[in-house]
Amino acid sequence: MSHMFTLGTLEGATTQLSDEEVTAFSASLRGQLLTPESAGYDAARVIWNGMIDRHPGLIVRCAGVADVIQAVNFARTHELLVAVRGGGHNIAGNAICDKGILIDLSQMRSVRIDPEAETARVEPGCTLADFDHEAQAFGLATPLGINSTTGVAGLTLGGGFGWLSRKYGMTVDNLLSADVVTAEGKLVHASKKQNPDLFWAIRGGGGNFGVVTSFEFQLHAVGPQVLSGLIVHPFKHAKEVLQFYRNYAHTLPDETAVWVVLRKAPPLPFLPEEWHGKEVVVLAACHIGDMAKGEKILEPLRKWGNPIADVIGPHPFTGWQKAFDPLLTPGARNYWKSHNFTELSDEAIDLMIDYVHRLPSPHTEIFLGQVGGQMERVGDEETAYPHRNASFIMNVHARWETAAEDEKSINWARAFFKDSADYATGGVYVNFLTQDEKERIPAAYGPNYDRLVEVKTKYDPENLFRFNQNIKPNTVALH
């Protein structure tokens, strides 16, 4: 009797597939098909957030577009639950499903730079480090995130922002086109000229509309050296530091961004040992223009107060893009909560300070990314990502090591999130939503939600791509 495979369906039931069906599917691929018995299966299902431990029924390690089309067709034909994995860095763990089929793009990692046109064509398995490595060979970059192990695909589809966003906008503002395999298994090109509705929707609408197999980005001259680094202050001065920062941040040109991290000091080599494990205020600065101008712009920040350390100087841009990697290594347990702010009121500052006194673990932090600038000059409805009025994006990074700490850490993050809501805009960045925040999906899209539903209904009427921060198609209500 031949072996039967039990797989999860879209509607949450299970279905049986024969050995012959699975073998024929495997033979249609250039990449690998992994079953739970395959060598390499366990390694392939591990993702960045250590809290996610799921067992897909099949893992398709795609080698190219043809494999993606085969996998989508196979999933649709058998009505299988589908997860799509790029870099596997997403906090909610949507890169992996239980029992269904995992379309794994992590082997598709080519980056092609056109230095004359200043564009990049990037495959969906690439990390930010992969992209930066190639682009920086020509002194070029596009706005990406702040952790080099993040996947380009997920980052882009949710919006994407980082050190370059004040000057050059969001990642999606630099997307020129994309190739997308739709739920029907068709490869379509999306740009301002071709399938503009789809192009609009993938710029912030997540993986709801298909599997992106190639991204084309606009590049900009950046680096190879930038003026960047950290200034670390004792926490007893947190209120004064943050009040000074709030006023100083408003004076900065688009070339300069200063972000804030509130946490216990990690054992960084430039921090005296007596500070390790004590609460600190970290100011992280990056200036991407002329070095001498940057020195002048950052001078007031560096002269203020009596910092424990100041390690601002010229650094390779690729190195700065990895500066926070040691604090965000894979395998820890993570839970995030996020708010957008137009300003930092004294009350909001007091609240942050209060919660940092009660951090649940030495790895947990409250992080404020300074955005605005070019990011704000794009209309709320020009891309699916709508929250253009934010000056600061706060992320509460609860991070810890053991399952025994889950409750304490998650409760701390939720409580701080709830208490700080009064000072926030109500908007949220979809990439920072966790698994239990489905009710916030409309908040992530604000005025664009209904239009996203229309595009979803057109390109994925049966909601094949639902294992994500899901935008449900209208058609589901018509049956």
For residue 409, what are the domain limits? 225-438
Whether residue 270 sits in one domain with residue 209? no
Buried residues in 55-77 as b, exposed as e (16+ CB within 10 A): bbbbbbbbeebbbbbbbbbbbbe
Within-domain flag for 474? no
For residue 478, the model assigns a pLDDT of 46
What is the phi/psi pair of residue 446, to 5°?
45, -125
Alpha-carbon gap, residue 232 to 249, rounded angstroms: 17
pTM exceeds cut of 0.75: yes
Cα dihedral 312/313/318/321 (nearest 10): 10
Identify whether the C-beta of residue 83 lies closer than 8 Å to the C-beta of residue 100: yes
Whether residue 371 sits in one domain with residue 278? yes
Whether residue 406 sits in one domain with residue 271? yes
For residue 1, the model assigns a pLDDT of 52
Alpha-carbon gap, residue 383 to 427, rounded angstroms: 15
CATH of the domain at 137: 3.30.465.10
Alpha-carbon gap, residue 255 to 296, rounded angstroms: 13
> What ranges in 37-127 are assigned the alpha helix state H?
41-44, 65-77
Within-domain flag for 313? yes
The pLDDT tens digits along the chain (479 residues) read: 568 999 999 999 999 999 999 999 999 999 999 999 999 999 999 999 999 999 999 999 999 999 999 999 999 999 999 999 999 988 888 999 999 999 999 999 999 999 999 999 999 999 999 999 999 999 999 999 999 999 999 999 999 999 999 999 999 999 999 999 999 999 999 999 999 999 999 999 999 999 999 999 999 999 999 999 999 999 999 999 999 999 999 999 999 999 999 999 999 899 999 999 999 999 999 999 999 999 999 999 999 999 999 999 999 999 999 999 988 889 999 998 888 999 999 999 999 999 999 999 999 999 999 999 999 999 999 999 999 999 999 989 999 999 999 999 999 999 999 999 999 988 878 777 777 777 788 888 999 999 999 999 999 999 999 999 999 999 754 44
Alpha-carbon gap, residue 126 to 123, rounded angstroms: 6
Within-domain flag for 468? no
Whether residue 153 sits in one domain with residue 44? no
> What ranges in 373-439 are assigned the alpha helix state H?
406-420
CATH of the domain at 229: 3.40.462.20
Within-domain flag for 27? yes
Within-domain flag for 472? no
Whether residue 155 sits in one domain with residue 35? no
Q: Which residue do the tokens 């995030």 mark?
A: 336
Whether residue 267 sits in one domain with residue 183? no
Counted domains in the chain: 3
Q: Which residues, 6+ apart, have CB-to-CB distance to 201 below 8 Å?
A: 208, 209, 384, 451, 452, 455, 456, 459
Whether residue 168 sits in one domain with residue 251? no
- Interval 250-309: pLDDT, tens: 999 999 999 999 999 999 899 999 999 999 999 999 999 999 999 999 999 999 999 999
Alpha-carbon gap, residue 181 to 198, rounded angstroms: 11
Whether residue 185 sits in one domain with residue 39? no
Whether residue 173 sits in one domain with residue 64? no
Question: According to the 3-state scheme, what is the secondary structure of 319-356?
Answer: HHCCCCHHHHCCCCEEEEEEEEECCCCHHHHHHHHHHH
Whether residue 230 sits in one domain with residue 189? no
For residue 479, the model assigns a pLDDT of 41
Whether residue 142 sits in one domain with residue 77? no
Whether residue 450 sits in one domain with residue 400? no
